[in-house]
Amino acid sequence: MRECPSCALPVEAKTSVCPYCGYEFPTTSMGQRIVAWLMILLLLGASFYVLLAWLLY
């Protein structure tokens, strides 16, 4: 169960639209998730190299 941000009533977790107020829960595609993870890994990797360069210089 999760709470609808519009009407604050509990709805099933797998529901994409609130049956009480019609709020449409946002969905993300698999492609968006992959891009988000790649960006996180890229930022973490870049931060690691900046820290390493700072420590060694």
Domain ranges of the chain: 2-56
pTM for this entry: 0.52
SS3 48: helix
Mean pLDDT of the chain: 92
13 within 8 A of 1, measured Cβ to Cβ:
yes
Give the position of tokens 């360069």.
Answer: 53
Query: Which residues are CB-neighbours of 15 under 8 A, at least 6 positions away?
Result: 25
18 within 8 A of 7, measured Cβ to Cβ:
yes
pLDDT at 50 over 90: no
